[in-house]
Every structure is written in structure tokens, then in C-alpha cells.
């Protein structure tokens, strides 16, 4: 059994929806065990959750994009990971990431590139969505990877959409495929 | 009269449509004179066009996003600008940028951040769209800044859309507002 | 009189040294008034300090680079600025930024590009160092812009250097020149 | 036998020195076979070289940083790879990258992040240096990873250093360790 942790912060609940869909995608793959770890509103996780990350084969990072970057709570988690960094405890683990915001672009690429930078400092291996975008004239938000990201998963929740309303079908299906992709890489490509 | 040059490369013509709309936006502002400079398929512009850039108060960069970055032809133009860089000939000019690609995100942020980096090496002043995004549930591609960028203009032309089909109304109107924004900053904020 | 605020977070004091040098550089320019605003260890500034920022002609952002990005305290400040963003209260102000870390590169570029992204969301005008790098064989850390950044100021404080030891002469002189650059742009180029 | 290709462009020869050192590092690892592919001054490689890349288990990208980004020749290579992208021919290969420039920082991070973005579009797995930086007071350019990069290899060749003079010892040793790291990941971590 390979272990995959999804560690994320959500401000209002939309990013939690994405995290749950990523977990659902991981669960589609046999011989892989997912764990969901939620960073609280102070930017903290428990010691047990840190240990869970330490024993995982892969870590998926998740955060909303606020003001062009991951939330401060996610950043506090990243800053606290500096002890693991100093000892290179996470070296050779697989890493991936996702982010949600109200705007189609909204500088989400910026958040993903920070997550990549963080993973590189930890000497992890980074994987993206492995998904081609839906980008022809007929494409709509109900299609796979319509937001259109490669380096990590991007989803969009409109500014006036309640937690039960967004992200919608296309983004949620994309989130599952992303989770499945991470699980297959960990199980099938890594020793 | 303040002079603004729009220097861009277009592979298939969609980015030319955007460049024309940016020019149309600049023309809405009095006491500002726009010039359109097209980088050819070898990545070259003429000596007269280099001189035009040298005498401009502002330079707007434009390129498609191909494989996660500006086209090689735009990059060749940027590499050739290294003589101006060595003498810091473009210091204190205003700079801005735009990019078009088939996918909603499609790593367009990556192209804009390169253009910003280029402008910073030239010691220019960078301005973005100055536009809030259309990001509520009712928003559609006919709305202003639906693609949703701040650091520069992003437009989307679907992969199967002809040059006469894309970008469509919302992106073209956004392009005009972006051109107008650049012109107003140059005329009204700069000495 | 033009007003320039320097708002920064410092974890151990090295970034405070840089902030003070930036202020010293601003003070070299007449008809410009600098204000220093320190983000506390909870990521907060006072209401009076928010008002000071609101009434400034330019805002200079400063933060250490921790784990490949600005500190969480600086990010909390950025997240809190979302009210100003929603009203676009800082539109057309000049912005610039600096960062300090132990390693020569150490992903400092990542922090500066976030600060640029933040400024773009606020529709500000971004300026860099305006300084050429010292990069020949004879160059040393005592020279101007030896760390070698364009988009903003980068300084380096070795991992075992006390607050009274770093950054050293070259970086501090570079910090003053950066402050002076910001002040001259605000006074001489902007209406 | 796992196959690793190093495909790079060099303008003056310094980046060739780095590429050779990366190859030397790969050769330290048994059961791994390296191939060196040089992009010519028109941005082209031969059909045989494209086939070599197609049959490799890992591809290491290399380029100088010019004007804040990979050279236009490297970008032309990347643009030409769009046929492989459309068919996702390089999916699941391992990728890594390196860049050389005259300045310590000099926006090298920007080039590496483009290479990461390129690899993500190809659905590859990205690995960095796996090296901690030398960043204490006693550190010098003779030390490992003094330039201090995580996401990929950065080396520095002073602006007036001949091809036989730079990069110097520390950067060359770092390049070998980077090549060795790539080879060990491909051989020991990947199925």
C-alpha cells in the first residue's frame, strides 16, 4: 500500500470540495491509501498530522488563491515545514498541488508555482495534471480541464457561489481525474 | 504628444487581432500617438522600427503563449534588445504586455511574467490591466476581463477558431480598455 | 511632498536592516517623505498604519524569503489588503519590493514575483532596482547589486550571520540606491 | 539500461561546459546511459536527435538565461516540441533543467520555471537539484550549490570570463552532483 496525503487550507469551503474530489479520485485506484489533512484557520495542523505527512509516499498541497498567492494559513504551514526541510525528511516523495479561486485565471498559476518551489526545496518529485485542456469552440465549464492547467489542478468558484454551488461538474470531474493521476503515478511509476 | 509602441508577434493572426484592438483603445485617448510594430516570422523588426521603440514613451509587448511561454520569435526580439539593455536605453519608459492562447489559463501568466522580467531588466515601469475581473455566476466570455488577468492582458482564441472568429467580443472590448488604460497612465500619470 | 511607505516583515532582524537602508536611500532625495511600517509577528499592522499606506504615493513591500516565498506574516498583510483591492483604493500608486534570505538565489525571485502580482491586483505601477549587476570576474559581495536582481531588491544574509553582521556593505549600499531610485521615480517621473 | 538525454543550447560555450559536467555526473551512476544533444544556433536539432529524446527515460533541458529567460534557440526547440505535446509522447518521462548566466541571480529562476512549465505541458515528472545550499559566512563560490538553487541547476559565468575560465570549480562540481541526482532518481526511484 502506498500512502498519499492531501494537505490543504480552505477559507470558505470551496477548496474543501476540491480536496474531497481529489480524495475520491485517489480512491478509484487500488493499493493506494489517501488521507485528508485540513490546515485550520490559524495555519496549524496537529503533530499526528505532521507524522502522517512524514510517512506518506506522496503529498498533495491545496489552497485557495488569495491576492495572487496561496492563503497565509497555507504559507504558515509551509513555513513550519522548514524543520522537515532542514533535515530533508521529505526528499524523494512525490508532490502535486491544486488551487481554487473566483476568477478564471486570477493568478492561480502563481500559487501553483509557489507550491512547486516549495516541493523543490523539499527535494520532492513534482507531477501535474497529466490532462489536456478542453479548448475548442464547443468547450464549456462542464468539460474536463476547461480552466486549462498543466502544472497542477485549477478550479474556479464564482465570487457569488455558495459552498454547495461551486466548483461545478466539470471542475469536480477534473479534480477526480487529477487525484487518480497522482495515485497512478505513485503506484505504477514509482518503485 | 506621448508616443506608445505596440510591438508584437502573431503566429496565425489571432494575436494581431488583439494588437489592433489595443491600438484602437489607445486611439480613444487624445494627445497620445500609437504605433504598431509586427515582429516577423524570423523574429526580426527593421532598424526604423527599433528607432521607433527607442523614441517611444511606452512600449506594449505582445505574443502568443506557445508551450508555456512567449513564442521564440518574440524571444528573439527580446534577445536582440540586449544592446538597448546594456546601455539602459529604455530606462524609465512605461511597459505593459498581452498574450493570447487557445486555453483559458494555458500558462499565459508565465508569458506575462517573462515580459515583466524583461521590462525590469530594461529598468522600465510596468503597468497591468487596471481592470477588475468578471467572476460571478452570471459572468460569460462576453464580459470584460472574464479570462481574468491583472498583470497584463490575457485573451483566449479557441483551438479551432479561425482568425476571423477569435478572440470574441468580451476579449476584444477588454483589449481596448487595456490600450486605453496604458494611454491614460502615460498621458495623465507620467510627467 | 510625495509620501513613500516601506511596509515590511522581518523574522530575525536582517530584513529590518534592509528596510532601514531603503529608508536612508529615500531620505537622500528632497521633497519626498518616507514612513517605515513594520508588520508584527502575527502579521498585523495598526489602523493608523493602514491609513498611512492609503495616503502614500508609493508603497515598498519587504519580506524575508522563507521556503520559497514571502513569510506568512507578510502574506497575512497581503490577504488583509483585499478590502483595499475590492475598492481599488491603491490604484495608480507606485509599488516596489525587496527580499532577504540566507542563500544567494534561494528562490528570492519567487517572492519578488508574488509582490509584483500583488501590486498588479491593486492596479499599481511596479518599478525595479534600475541597477545594473556587478557580474565580472573581479566582482565581490562588496559591490553594488552583486546578488544581481532587476525586478526588486535582493539581499543575502548568511545562515550563521547575526543581525549585527548582515547584510554587509555591498548589499546595504545597494539597498540605499534602491530606496533612492524609488524616491526619484516618484518625485521626478510621476505627476 | 535507462536512457537520459541532455538537450541544451549554448551561445558562447559556458553552458556547454555545464552540460558536459552534467553528463559526467550521470556517468558516475551504473546502468544509466547518457546522450548529449546540442541545439544549434538556428534552434534546431536533427530528426535522429528528436528520436533519441523520444526513446529516453529522462530529458534534462539546458539553456543560458538571456534577458530573463531561456535563449530564443532553446525556445524554438520548445515550440517545435509541440507535436510531441499534442500526442503527449513524452508523458511520464522524468525531466530536469539547468541554466547559466553572468549574474548571480540574473533572473535564472525565471528560466527554470519556464522549463518546469514546459515539462508540465508534456506531463513529465520534474526533479530539482536535491542539494542543500552553501550559505553560511564561510561559504564561497568553490562550494557546492553556492549559487543556491533547488528547482534546477544554476551556474554563474562572469561577464568577462572566457569559455575556458567559467563556470569554476564549485559550479562544475555542483553540475556533476546534479547529473548524478537525475541518474539516481531515474534508476533507483522509477520503475
Bridge partner list, A37: A7
Q: What confidence category does residue B38 fall into, taking pLDDT thresholds of 50, 70 and 90? A: very high
- Hey, of C68, C117, C151, which one would you mutate to test binding to chain A, going by the most A CBs within 10 A of its CB? C68
Domain of D67, in residue numbers: 2-189
Asked whether the beta carbons of C6 and C58 are under 8 A apart, the reply is no
Q: What is the distance in angstroms between the CA of the first residue and the CA of the last residue of chain D? A: 12
Looking at residue A94, what is its pLDDT? Answer: 98
**pLDDT, average across residues B170-182:** 98
Task: Please name the helix (run of DSSP H) or strand (run of DSSP E) that holds residue B18, with its range, or none.
Answer: helix B14-26
Using DSSP, state whether B110 is helix, strand or coil.
helix
Distances C80 to A15, A157, B15, B140, C44 between C-alpha atoms, Å: 19, 20, 37, 29, 9
Q: What confidence category does residue C137 fall into, taking pLDDT thresholds of 50, 70 and 90? A: very high
For B74-102, the pLDDT digits (tens) are: 999 999 999 999 999 999 999 999 999 99
For C21-65, the pLDDT digits (tens) are: 999 999 999 999 999 999 999 999 999 999 999 999 999 999 999
CA distance A131 to A111: 19
Asked whether the beta carbons of B176 and B131 are under 8 A apart, the reply is no
Count of CB pairs separated by less than 8 Å, A with C: 76
For A138-169, the pLDDT digits (tens) are: 999 999 999 999 999 999 999 999 999 999 99
Which among A113, A120, A188 has CB closest to D128? A120
| Distance (Å) from the alpha carbon of D29 to chain B's nearest alpha carbon | 32
Nearest CA in chain C to A77: C72
- Hey, of D2, D112, D151, D186, which one would you mutate to test binding to chain A, going by the most A CBs within 10 A of its CB? D151
For D99-157, the pLDDT digits (tens) are: 999 999 999 999 999 999 999 999 999 999 999 999 999 999 999 999 999 999 999 99
CA distance C96 to C6: 9
Burial class (CB in 10 A: 0-12, 13-18, 19+), B70: buried
Looking at residue D13, what is its pLDDT? Answer: 98
| Distance (Å) from the alpha carbon of C137 to chain D's nearest alpha carbon | 5
Asked if A72 is an interface residue toward chain C (Cβ–Cβ < 8 A), one would say yes
Asked if C118 is an interface residue toward chain B (Cβ–Cβ < 8 A), one would say no
CA distance A107 to D138: 39
Looking at residue D104, what is its pLDDT? Answer: 95
Residues of A in Cβ contact (< 8 Å) with B137? 158, 160-161, 165
Binary contact (A118, C78; C-beta < 8 A): no
Which among B109, B139, B146 has CB closest to A107? B109
Burial class (CB in 10 A: 0-12, 13-18, 19+), D177: buried
Residues of A in Cβ contact (< 8 Å) with B146? 104
Asked whether the beta carbons of A79 and C67 are under 8 A apart, the reply is yes
Binary contact (B132, C190; C-beta < 8 A): no
CA distance A76 to C72: 5
**Using CA of residue A64, residue A68, residue A73, residue A79, what is the dihedral sign?**
positive
Asked if A131 is an interface residue toward chain B (Cβ–Cβ < 8 A), one would say no
Looking at residue C101, what is its pLDDT? Answer: 98
Looking at residue D162, what is its pLDDT? Answer: 97
Binary contact (B106, A165; C-beta < 8 A): no
Binary contact (C72, A43; C-beta < 8 A): yes
Binary contact (A158, B139; C-beta < 8 A): yes
CB proximity list for D91: less than 8 A, separation 6 or greater: A130, D122, D123, D124
CA D21 to chain centre: 10
Asked if B118 is an interface residue toward chain D (Cβ–Cβ < 8 A), one would say yes
Using DSSP, state whether B142 is helix, strand or coil.
coil
Query: Please, which residues 161-190 of chain C have a Cβ atom closer than 8 Å to chain B?
Result: 185, 188-190
Question: Where does chain A have alpha helices with state H?
Answer: 14-27, 47-54, 72-80, 82-87, 108-121, 169-184
| Distance (Å) from the alpha carbon of A108 to chain C's nearest alpha carbon | 11
Which among A75, A120, A121 has CB closest to C75? A75
Asked if D159 is an interface residue toward chain C (Cβ–Cβ < 8 A), one would say yes
Nearest CA in chain B to D76: B72
Q: What confidence category does residue A58 fall into, taking pLDDT thresholds of 50, 70 and 90? A: very high
Binary contact (C107, D147; C-beta < 8 A): no
Count of CB pairs separated by less than 8 Å, B with C: 62
Which among B125, B129, B191 has CB closest to C125? B125
For B126-163, the pLDDT digits (tens) are: 999 999 999 999 999 999 999 999 999 999 999 999 99
Bridge partner list, D32: D2
Binary contact (B130, C91; C-beta < 8 A): yes
Query: D41: closest CA among D18, D16, D72, D64?
Result: D72
Asked if A113 is an interface residue toward chain C (Cβ–Cβ < 8 A), one would say yes
Q: How many CB atoms lie within 10 A of CB A80?
A: 16
Looking at residue C94, what is its pLDDT? Answer: 98
Looking at residue B43, what is its pLDDT? Answer: 98
For D75-101, the pLDDT digits (tens) are: 999 999 999 999 999 999 999 999 999
Q: What confidence category does residue A79 fall into, taking pLDDT thresholds of 50, 70 and 90? A: very high
Instruction: Quote the number of domains for chain D.
Output: 1
Looking at residue C88, what is its pLDDT? Answer: 98
Give the CATH number of the domain where residue B57 resides: 3.40.50.360
CA torsion angle for C157, C159, C161, C164 (degrees, to 10)?
A: 50
Amino acid at each position: 500500500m502506498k500512502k498519499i496525503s492531501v494537505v490543504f487550507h480552505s477559507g470558505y469551503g470551496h477548496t474543501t470540495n476540491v480536496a474531497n474530489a481529489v480524495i475520491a479520485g485517489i480512491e478509484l485506484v487500488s493499493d493506494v491509501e489517501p488521507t485528508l489533512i485540513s490546515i485550520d484557520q490559524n495555519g496549524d495542523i496537529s503533530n499526528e498530522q505532521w507524522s502522517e505527512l512524514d510517512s506518506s509516499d506522496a503529498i498533495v498541497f491545496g489552497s485557495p488563491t488569495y491576492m495572487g498567492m496561496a492563503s497565509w494559513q497555507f504559507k504558515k504551514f509551509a513555513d513550519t515545514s522548514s524543520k522537515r526541510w532542514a533535515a530533508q525528511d521529505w526528499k524523494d516523495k512525490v508532490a502535486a498541488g491544486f488551487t481554487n479561486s473566483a476568477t478564471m485565471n486570477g493568478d492561480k498559476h502563481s500559487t501553483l508555482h509557489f507550491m512547486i518551489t516549495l516541493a523543490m526545496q523539499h527535494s520532492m518529485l513534482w507531477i501535474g495534471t497529466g490532462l489536456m485542456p478542453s479548448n475548442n469552440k464547443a468547450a464549456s465549464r462542464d468539460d474536463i480541464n476547461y480552466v486549462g492547467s498543466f502544472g497542477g489542478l485549477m478550479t474556479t468558484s464564482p465570487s457569488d457561489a455558495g459552498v454547495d454551488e461551486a466548483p461545478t461538474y466539470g471542475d469536480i470531474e477534473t479534480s477526480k481525474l487529477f487525484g487518480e493521476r497522482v495515485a497512478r503515478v505513485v503506484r505504477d511509476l514509482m518503485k
